[in-house]
Amino acid sequence: MRLDDFDALLLDMDGTLYREHHALPGSPETVTRLLAEGRRVICVTNNGANTPEELATRLQKMGLAFPPGAIHTACHSMADWITSRWPKPRIFNFAGSALEVELKGRATFVERIADPCDVVAVGTHTRENNVPFDFERALVGLNLLRAGAHLVVGCADRVFPIQGGAVEFGSGSWGALFGYGADVPADRWHHTGKPGAWFFESLCHRVSVRPERCLIIGDNLESDIKGGVTAGMKTALVLTGVSTREQATRSPFKPDVVFEDLAAVYRAMR
Ligand SMILES: [Mg+2]
């Protein structure tokens, strides 16, 4: 398997490119080389709270020079999922301002319990990235769900890592708060991030690439490798994040290759 075999390289962000706001050793140089060689490189992330522009700025500060157009987020796949089912959706947005930017002019945003509503969109609320939990608005979302709106959640992640080895609640946990509270049935409760098939369908559609022509490189067996394998992509696990080589041998979703880090993937496959 060589990099030339692929039309697009999909790079997970946290745990693959950087950790705790610092680029991983060798990752900026590898990204620079991949881009200089004219390869199509796309960052894929379950972060749906920030716009691609905000994420690109954050990456740039770590020496990772990705244009906003080369970043696919859980917000993109959420917006694509919603608009594929409702041509003019009525949304209660509890997923952050990135969704509003993404769906500007294509959706009606509702704010009151009495408003007709198709979708309650829920994403991560985080101290780390300053997306505070709004108790009053949460109650509006809860009641709209009880009235029959669909619950669309950025991803199923329970937690995500923050500085010092601690974790914060992920989108999946916030979604569960709403889903449990409103007793939302499974057919009205959706996750649109990694490892769900929709995330990768949305990505392939947006960048016009076939899944079998993609290599996904990530640190997480659950979201990156399972998601990639299910979507029909080739997969490379790097050991700079959450999953270990030992876990990979026991996982039902086996990566095609395992390397110490992103730089080692490049050295072995270029
Ligand atoms: Mg990761």
Residue 76 has pLDDT above 80, yes or no: yes
| Amino acid in the structure at residue 156 | A
CA of 189 to the centre of ligand 1 (A): 24
Distance between Cα 185 and ligand 1 center (Å):
30
What's the CA-to-centroid distance between 89 and ligand 1, angstroms? 31
Q: Do the bridges between strand 18-19 and strand 22-23 make them parallel or antiparallel, or are there none, so unpaired?
A: antiparallel
| Residue 49 pLDDT grade (very low, low, confident, very high; cuts 50, 70, 90) | confident
Half-sphere exposure of 28 (CA within 13 A, CB side): 12
Q: What is the pLDDT of residue 4?
A: 97
Q: Which of 191, 206, 237 is the last residue of a domain?
A: 191
**101 Cα to the center of ligand 1, angstroms:** 25
pLDDT of residue 111: 97
Count of CB atoms situated within 10 Å of the CB of 244:
13
152 and 82: one domain? yes
Whether residues 142 and 107 share a domain: the answer is yes
Q: Which domain covers residue 41, as residue numbers?
A: 3-46+194-269
Q: Where are the beta strands (DSSP E) in the chain?
A: 8-12, 18-19, 22-23, 41-45, 71-73, 90-94, 108-109, 119-122, 150-153, 159-161, 167-169, 189-191, 214-218, 234-238, 257-259
Distance from the alpha carbon of residue 218 to the mean position of ligand 1, in angstroms: 6
- Please determine, for residue 73, whether its predicted confidence score (pLDDT) is greater than 70: yes
Going from the Cα of 39 to the center of ligand 1, the distance in angstroms, rounded, reads 21
Domain-ending residue, one of 171, 191, 211? 191
CB-based contact 74:45 (threshold 8 Å): yes
The reply to whether 204 and 180 lie within a common domain is: no
Give me the chain's average pLDDT, please: 94
CA of 114 to the centre of ligand 1 (A): 40
Residue 170 tokens, joined: 């992920």
Distance 153 CA to ligand 1 centre (A): 18
CATH number at residue 122: 3.40.50.1000
Residue recorded with tokens 């270029």: 270
Residue 207 maps to a domain = yes
What's the Rg (C-alpha) of the chain?
Answer: 18
Choose one of 170, 191, 212: the last residue of a domain: 191
Give the number of other Cβ atoms within 10 Å of residue 233's Cβ.
Answer: 24
Q: Clarify whether residues 198 and 177 are in a common domain.
A: no
Count of structural domains within the chain? 2
Residues with Cβ within 8 Å of residue 253, at least 6 apart in sequence: 221, 225, 226, 229, 230
Percent of the chain predicted with pLDDT > 90: 86
- In this prediction, residue 20 carries a pLDDT of 80
pLDDT at 21: 84
Per-residue tokens: 137: 């608005």
- Cα(13) to ligand 1 centroid in Å equals 6
The answer to whether residues 198 and 187 belong to one domain is: no
Give dist(CA 257, CA 109) in Å, integer. 44
- Give me the pLDDT at residue 129, please: 67
Please check the confidence at residue 127 and state whether its pLDDT lies above 80.
no
pLDDT digits (tens, 9 = 90+) for 141-181: 999 999 999 999 999 988 887 777 788 899 999 999 999 99
Judge if 165 and 198 occupy the same domain: no
Q: Within 10 A of 117 (CB to CB), how many other CB atoms are there?
A: 25
Q: Which of 128, 136, 185 is nearest to 162 (CA)?
A: 128
Mean pLDDT computed over 5-19 = 95
Distance 267 CA to ligand 1 centre (A): 21
Q: What is the 259 CA–ligand 1 centroid distance (Å)? A: 14
The alpha carbon of 237 and the centre of ligand 1 are apart by a number of angstroms equal to: 10
pLDDT of residue 246: 96
Q: Report, as an integer, the average pLDDT of 191-202.
A: 94
CA distances from 5 to 8, 25, 116, 199 (A): 9, 26, 49, 22
Distance in Å, CA 155 to ligand 1 centroid: 13
C-alpha of residue 116 to centroid of ligand 1, in Å: 37
Q: What is the pLDDT of residues 200-246, one digit of tens each?
A: 999 999 999 999 999 999 999 999 999 999 999 999 999 999 899 99
Same domain, 174 and 208: no
pTM given for the model: 0.92
Residue recorded with tokens 């559609």: 205
